[in-house]
Chains A and B, each alone.
Chain A
Amino acid sequence: MKLINSFVIAIRSLSANKLRSSLTMLGIIIGVGAVITLMSVGRGAQASITSVFEQMGTNVLYVMSRSPGVEGLGGMSPVFVTPTLTMDDVKALERIPSVVAVLPVNENFVKVTAGGESKTAIIHGSTPEYLEVYNYSLASGQFIAERNVASRDRVAVLGDEVAEELFGSDDPIGERVKMKGQRFTVIGVLEAKGGAMMGVSMDNIVVTPITTFQTRLFTQQTASGEDAVQSISLKVASTEAIDEVREEIEPVLRKRHRLSADEENDFAIVSQEQILSLVGQVTGVFTIFLGAIAGISLLVGGIGIMNIMLVSVTERTREIGVRKAVGAKRRDILLQFLLESAMLSFAGGGIGIIGGWLLSRLISRISIGGMTIQAVVSPDIVILAISVSVFIGLASGIYPAMRAARLNPIDALHYG
């Protein structure tokens, strides 16, 4: 028998049971759709997070406080750490050759209010180099100047989103905003940047002088009672100089912190590359996790197909008997049932891909807290989903098909 005949038989028998066929396909449609959607969202999140770090360039080093003796990331988490870095450390690091800019950054969440409007934003306490190191540009007004830092001025530069939310189309320059019960003068507005960092839009930001942050907003002291700096970013002249600078930071800070030879560093130096690979790992696990959840629904869809095909074999035992009586070989019956399940899963997979693609397009349009995830349906995800669904179709079809093919014609004819 020619293969085309098997296709005709399979199509006829599937279309004879339209409702059952479409319900069976639904399992695969949902499974494949979920795989496509979740994996593309995962990839999109990965890409958007990675791009934020990449924007800052690969020639940046970060220095953070670290609690000696605490392993891994916990040693660097602000929750567990007694801060060790100060503005004097910043000044000392500025003297290292090949360092273009040294930027202290203190970070927190703050509620900003102006008039009747309010918005919760990220607040960065920093210095004039902030624009350069973080790749922002000014839309209007001015940025924080050295004298603002020196005199702990209550001035703020607003991110695009914050300005938009609080002032709408009005010009915010010179206006007042309130943070932690204190009035700040808006001196500048940042150009919109797009993108998000850890789920928070990079335009949902307020920048103040670091000294103002330290003394008026969120006070935090080192063990010796100095005002603390949470992290220091160093912009290095070139990517090649990174390792060299990294080695010079260590003795400078050790000396300043008066660490004896047998004491561990109370700070950690992290390169952009390390962060990227860490972020890649985390988001990769996240994507795999999402994919696995979707994979389970695909598996359930496959079991659904197997179930229906088994029922169908039992229900159609007589039909199989008739077919065998008029000359169908084992192979013909096997092929018929296998093709039926393969076609179900293939069609279901196709619809699932289109559905998943539409859904991820939809998700790309939704903004969650100012962040949009550009869900990317890449060919490898599609190929993965198709091959998994065809595999499931064949795997779940093969057992029922073999049962059907093995039936003795005479037993099949006398069934039921």
Chain B
Amino acid sequence: MSVAEEPLAVTAEARAKQKAWFQGFRARVMEQGETYVIASAVSPHEIFHTMDVPVVSIPWYSAVISAKQQSPYYFSLMDEMGFHDGLPRYNTLPYFSTVDNDPERAPYGGLPKPAMILERLRSDYAQRVAELWAGEYGCPAFVLDSPALTRLRPGWFDRAQHDWEDLYETHRLDFQVEQLKALIRAAEDATGKVFSHTRFTREMHNVNRLGELIAETRDIIARTAPLPVPLSEQLTNVMACTWQRGSQWAIDHATKYRDEVKARAEAGVGICGDERVRLLWLNNGLWFNTGFYRYFEESHGAVFVWSMYSNFLSDGYRKYFTDDPLRALAARHISMNEQLHLPGWMAEWIVKQARDFGAHGAVMLTPDSDRMASMGTRFCKLALEAAGIPVLEIRASAVDARQWDDDAQRARVAAFIEERVAA
């Protein structure tokens, strides 16, 4: 085998695309005065893509703030305003950048007033932040409520693409379709743009094709040792496709990503010269320090092969349909977080990933001050360990660099590999 000396060429293209997208966004919104929308990650961006309305994803901007080391400032502001330090931080940083209203400090000059803020109500706090944030801007907040599942059928990842009517339950989908119709009308009113059914249908098919390409790439990565692409690059490429889903660019990029990974796999090119240990990264990404994923390659021959971002786009987003793309869109988002965090669903999916990727252990980041992200983790840990996969749980903020002790966490993971995985 040989060792990859450089990142994938497509990784630079993904970064360039996101940068160009934001430059285009700034030109359209800030210079030409076009409308745009701020939306949670698990809300139906597709509606706005179809209307050619730019969407800023809340966790994306939060990750940008974090990566630019601005989170400590905004957290201090949060403290000064009286918001206690146990409140969720992962998705609320952008709100505080708005409150601060300092374009010199905010990444890319900050977010101007949107046409609306769109939030899906999982948790009890999202609607509160959306309401506060919308009040700060003087724009409407549109919230999508989340009906509960009456039962969790096993194997959601096998049923979610074709058998979604039964999996997600008809009465819930009926309700979600009603909400989406209301959202389309509100979006048309707020932006002055028109929802195109033909474009929407095409984009929905495009997302399915995109998911197929990501699934193919996932299969290559899972079965290939040495690992051909580091986790950090998986995230860059898959997330760029996720934010640009529905577009031809995303399909073209995912095709190139698959081809480049496949070429490396066939040539026996890996990222670690002496790969001995394959690990999963569970739960939120460590956005302010993605280099952490590669700390243990030289020292322990340990690579992180998977996180939930690696292939949720393929397993969770694809919804095949014949004649009702709006119902398929309802199915895509109605249980999106739940698939990642509900006990049972979370655990069975991750155990399957562990087996598919030949993982020897897992490191689980349980974020402080984000109890939604902690839910389901104990069942997941039990299920993995019952399947013979040891788990190390790290408790830390996923976005607050102030609270991260890099040396201590590095030592913990090293000890975990030595004492529980490699032993």
Co-assembled chains A and B: no
A residues adjacent to B (C-beta < 8 A): none
